[in-house]
Amino acid sequence: MSGAATLLRDVFGFDGFRLGQQEIVEAVTAGENVLAIMPTGGGKSLCFQMPALLREGVTVVISPLIALMRDQVRALQELGVGAGALTSGNTPEETDAVWEGLEAGTLKLLYMAPERLAAGSVVGMLKRVGVSMIAVDEAHCVSQWGHDFRPDYLRIGELRRTLNVPLAAFTATADAETQVEIVQKLFDGIAPRAFLRGFDRPNIHLAFSAKNSPRAQILAFAAARKGQSGIVYCGTRAKTEGLAKGLRDEGHLALHYHGGMEAEDRRIAERRFQQEDGLIVVATVAFGMGIDKPDIRWVAHADLPKSIEAYYQEIGRAGRDGSPAETLTLFGPDDIRLRRSQIDEGLAPPERRSADHARLNALLGLAEALECRRKTLLGYFDETDISCGRCDLCDTPADVFDGTTAVRKALSAMLRTEEWFGAGHLIDILLGNETDKIRERGHTSLPTYGVGTEYDKRQWQAVFRQMMGHDLVRPDTERHGALRMTDAALPILRGEAQISLRRDSIRIAGSMRRPAVKMMVSEEDAPLLSALKAKRRGLAEAAKVPAYIIFNDRTLIEMAEKRPDTLDAMARVGGVGAKKLESYGRAFLDVINGASVEMHPTRRKLAGREAGTVFDRLLEVQAELARGFAGTDKPLSCSASLLAKVAQLRNADDTALERLLGEKRAERFGPAFLDVLREAG
Ligand code: ADP
Ligand code: ZN
């Protein structure tokens, strides 16, 4: 497959295949029918794009989302590949260009929405233009029982029979039932060659944390990743707005997003997230389908997701480009109560409800895991043999203690009050707190009254939360959330089983130190990386494409580290294919090597001095805020000489800055500039 290796490097600009890609590319190129199941970010597109180039004729790609198709087509065109899309979003010129490409035989990939197949004329056209292969993206959309069912996907089987060409189907949804349906509907029940790639996403760091001051926890997580694209998932619409504002107040670029917003506003937010670099979206789960941004660097959950599958899908939006990405999921007793009651109060039939409880239990088990999160997570998908080292529990092993006695005391307090009370009152009983409620109910005379003084209230809360997490107790909605014991607790109550619990590292929000900002490169390379990013932003804005379509983060990082000084050296950077070298190689080389020549005279005076670095950071922060916190205000900026003055300011504070900048500029840039000056000093 030396042809493939050359294509991989020269056209796609990749050094090698990702796990599993090569076998799939070979099978598809050889004209076999293929079903490939790969996790999101595994690199599915390459598995049909490359065979399309290696084979004669046109490959039709069926894909469910117009926005994603358009992005893929643009990315291919940037690589110099003949690709086009026929969608309802096309301008007449775009459609004409597609037809011309087909006539001239220069078009290799034709993307189509499934709805197009409804028109009989389309099938005739596809026959005429010499289609030699069909690729189906998101093939699980053919499943009638799935969430993403698209009736028009049922026409694909017919298309395959009519054209009589090989078909390659791709999806990230693995369960056995869906696979069977795909084989029936797309391949007439004749099993294709199947490729199943593992579900591990090794570049994603996993972490959970019990809620103590959730807002501060999220803000601290975001502060350590300032300037990187991220998503914060929230349980309620109201919370998305509040948190987005909180993030903006701290100088982040942040938007909120939820299903209650006007369709137009939602589209604008999606578009901006896709295109811009370093934007945070604070959203409900409504945000996700249709987001195909490869360079999302982090995902945080301000509230617990609804199941382990939902968790996997949501964190899976991070790091699709394969570069390191980080996640943090917060959870607390209220989340557990909420998720349980949603299931109990839902309309699903009883057997479905108990399956939903089980899927929630799997997630809670992950939240309360005592060793490696990745092993626990993938164990749920039946994958064993995992190596990790990229989760919070591998970083710092959990501090565990034998919780058997504590759990038995808690259960006893519950049972002696006939399972009519929530954790708060039960903890008062265990601690011997003589509250009004305790006195009224005569609970001071219970044998369990005051038997739990070895722990304080916070520690008991952690014990109860973990009991809920291990499904030893469940809140009962019919009893206003009173805790009731489950059968799983019986062995512990009877003294037949032991249980280990985690000692929570109790950190008070106020004493939580601001973590240092995590850099994507060493300090020495950081200024060059931001210069490269600025160049990329300029080019992306001019071409109206997302920044990653020019070059992705990993490519820029490699440029900043290797500092190629010729076009030859540039071509050896991962992600720089022949076409991109031609289009952008020179521009980025100039940034790397010509930076000192092009330096602004004001900046040059600061060269080699601390203030020079500060100046660069100020410039960067200013660019981020050029159109205000939400990115919708009138453009505003400071002159180079003004920035130089700020960079050299001693004992900077709000008043000093306002004197220097004037009211309007101080309002927009003041707090962020102060942060820069403090970081430096
Ligand atoms: P998905 O499987 O989710 O459809 P994509 O095809 O969108 O994944 O690929 C995810 C990201 O990985 C893209 O940014 C793509 O450019 C990158 N990628 C794919 N294959 C390789 C490879 N062999 N080497 C480096 N990057 C790759
Ligand atoms: Zn681990």
In sequence order, which residues have a C-beta less than 8 Å from that of residue 293 and are 6 or more positions away?
229, 273, 274, 317, 320, 546, 548
pLDDT for position 517: 60
The torsion angles phi and psi of 231, rounded to 5 degrees, stand at -125, 135
Contact at 8 Å (CB) between 241 and 216? no
Q: Has residue 387 been placed in a domain?
A: yes
Q: What is the pLDDT of residues 214-242, one digit of tens each?
A: 999 999 999 999 989 999 999 999 999 99
Give the residue whose CA is nearest to atom 16 of ligand 1: 321
**Residue 202 Cα to ligand 2 middle (Å):** 10
- Nearest ligand, measured from the Cα of 377: 2
Which of 549, 582, 604 is at the close of a domain? 604
pLDDT for position 679: 80
Q: What would the mean pLDDT of 196-213 be, rounded to a whole number? A: 91
Which of 586, 604, 622 is at the close of a domain? 604
DSSP H helical segments within 316-435, as ranges?
A: 333-345, 350-367, 373-380, 392-395, 404-416, 423-431
In sequence order, which residues have a C-beta less than 8 Å from that of residue 242 and are 6 or more positions away?
none
- Nearest ligand, measured from the Cα of 396: 2
**Residue 262 Cα to ligand 2 middle (Å):** 41
Q: What is the pLDDT of residues 632-657, one digit of tens each?
A: 787 788 888 888 889 988 888 888 88
Asked if 489 and 544 sit in the same domain, the reply is no
Single out the residue of 657, 676, 675 nearest to residue 611, CA to CA: 676
Summary mean pLDDT of the chain: 89
Asked if 616 and 599 sit in the same domain, the reply is no
**Strand locations in 242-314 (E):** 254-257, 280-283, 298-301
Asked if 673 and 546 sit in the same domain, the reply is no
What is the span of the domain harbouring residue 586?
526-604
Which CATH number fits the domain that encloses residue 582? 1.10.150.80
Q: What would the mean pLDDT of 151-174 be, rounded to a whole number? A: 93
Please report, for the chain, how many H helices and E strands are present, in that order. Answer: 33, 18
Give the pLDDT band of residue 509 (cuts 50, 70, 90): very low
The CB-side HSE value for 155 (13 A sphere, CA atoms) comes to 16
Contact at 8 Å (CB) between 562 and 573? yes
Q: What is the pLDDT of residues 55-65, one digit of tens each?
A: 999 999 999 98
Give the pLDDT band of residue 16 (cuts 50, 70, 90): confident
Asked if 629 and 597 sit in the same domain, the reply is no
pLDDT for position 518: 66
Pocket test for ligand 1, best of 22, 320, 323 (most atoms within 8 A of CB): 320
DSSP for 163-218 reads HT--EEEEES---HHHHHHHHHHHHTT---EEEE-----TTEEB-EEE-SSHHHHH
> Is 33 in a helix, a strand, or coil?
coil
Give the pLDDT band of residue 297 (cuts 50, 70, 90): very high
pLDDT beyond 50 at 514: no
Q: What would the mean pLDDT of 167-178 be, rounded to a whole number? A: 85
Q: What would the mean pLDDT of 372-395 be, rounded to a whole number? A: 89
Partners of residue 280 on adjacent β-strands: 230, 254
Single out the residue of 465, 399, 401, 400 nearest to residue 427, CA to CA: 465
Pocket test for ligand 1, best of 1, 14, 23, 197 (most atoms within 8 A of CB): 14
Q: What is the pLDDT of residues 334-376, one digit of tens each?
A: 899 889 888 888 887 887 788 788 888 889 999 999 999 999 9
pLDDT for position 599: 60
Asked if 490 and 592 sit in the same domain, the reply is no
pTM beyond 0.85: the answer is no
- Nearest ligand, measured from the Cα of 323: 1
Give the pLDDT band of residue 545 (cuts 50, 70, 90): confident
Asked if 119 and 228 sit in the same domain, the reply is no
Partners of residue 85 on adjacent β-strands: 111
Q: What percent of the chain lies above the pLDDT cut of 90?
A: 54
Asked if 466 and 545 sit in the same domain, the reply is no
pLDDT for position 349: 81
Give the residue whose CA is nearest to atom 12 of ligand 1: 321
Q: Has residue 583 been placed in a domain?
A: yes
Give the pLDDT band of residue 494 (cuts 50, 70, 90): very high
Single out the residue of 253, 300, 259, 251 nearest to residue 273, CA to CA: 253
Single out the residue of 514, 632, 623 nearest to residue 278, CA to CA: 623
pLDDT beyond 80 at 681: no
In sequence order, which residues have a C-beta less than 8 Å from that of residue 257 and are 6 or more positions away?
240, 266, 269, 270, 281, 282, 283, 284, 286, 287
Q: Has residue 239 been placed in a domain?
A: yes
Asked if 218 and 272 sit in the same domain, the reply is yes
pLDDT for position 597: 45
CA distances from 531 to 229, 230, 244, 550 (A): 18, 21, 27, 15
The CB-side HSE value for 661 (13 A sphere, CA atoms) comes to 28
Give the residue whose CA is nearest to atom 20 of ligand 1: 43
Give the residue whose CA is nearest to atom 18 of ligand 1: 43
Asked if 351 and 491 sit in the same domain, the reply is no
Asked if 376 and 243 sit in the same domain, the reply is yes
**Residue 477 Cα to ligand 1 middle (Å):** 45
Which CATH number fits the domain that encloses residue 459? 1.10.10.10
Q: Has residue 615 been placed in a domain?
A: yes
- Name the CA dihedral angle for 136, 138, 141, 147, rounded to a multiple of 10 degrees: 180
Q: What is the pLDDT of residues 81-127, one digit of tens each?
A: 999 999 888 889 999 999 999 989 999 999 999 999 988 788 888 98
Contact at 8 Å (CB) between 337 and 481? yes
Give the residue whose CA is nearest to atom 9 of ligand 1: 43
Asked if 261 and 366 sit in the same domain, the reply is yes
In sequence order, which residues have a C-beta less than 8 Å from that of residue 27 and are 6 or more positions away?
34, 193, 195
Tell me which DSSP letter residue 515 carries. Answer: P
- Nearest ligand, measured from the Cα of 14: 1
pLDDT for position 512: 41
Q: Has residue 183 been placed in a domain?
A: yes
**Residue 362 Cα to ligand 2 middle (Å):** 17
pLDDT beyond 90 at 307: no
Q: Has residue 512 been placed in a domain?
A: no
Higher pLDDT, 431 or 508: 431
> What is the number of the ligand 1 atom nearest to the C-alpha of 42?
2
Pocket test for ligand 1, best of 28, 37, 46, 552 (most atoms within 8 A of CB): 46
pLDDT for position 516: 56
Q: Has residue 517 been placed in a domain?
A: no
Q: Has residue 591 been placed in a domain?
A: yes
Pocket test for ligand 1, best of 15, 18, 38 (most atoms within 8 A of CB): 18
Which of 196, 226, 242 is at the close of a domain? 196
pLDDT for position 620: 82
- Pocket-forming residues, ligand 1, beta carbon under 6 Å: 14, 17-18, 21, 38, 40-46, 294, 320-322, 552
Asked if 329 and 404 sit in the same domain, the reply is no
Q: What would the mean pLDDT of 540-551 be, rounded to a whole number? A: 88
- Nearest ligand, measured from the Cα of 373: 2
pLDDT for position 219: 96
In sequence order, which residues have a C-beta less than 8 Å from that of residue 326 and are 6 or more positions away?
204, 205, 207, 225, 297, 298, 318
For the chain, the farthest-separated pair of C-alpha atoms sits apart, in whole angstroms, at 91
pLDDT beyond 50 at 508: no
Which CATH number fits the domain that encloses residue 227? 3.40.50.300
CA distances from 131 to 3, 72, 315 (A): 22, 19, 37
pLDDT for position 197: 81
Q: How many domains does the chain have?
A: 5
Single out the residue of 372, 360, 359, 336 nearest to residue 207, CA to CA: 372
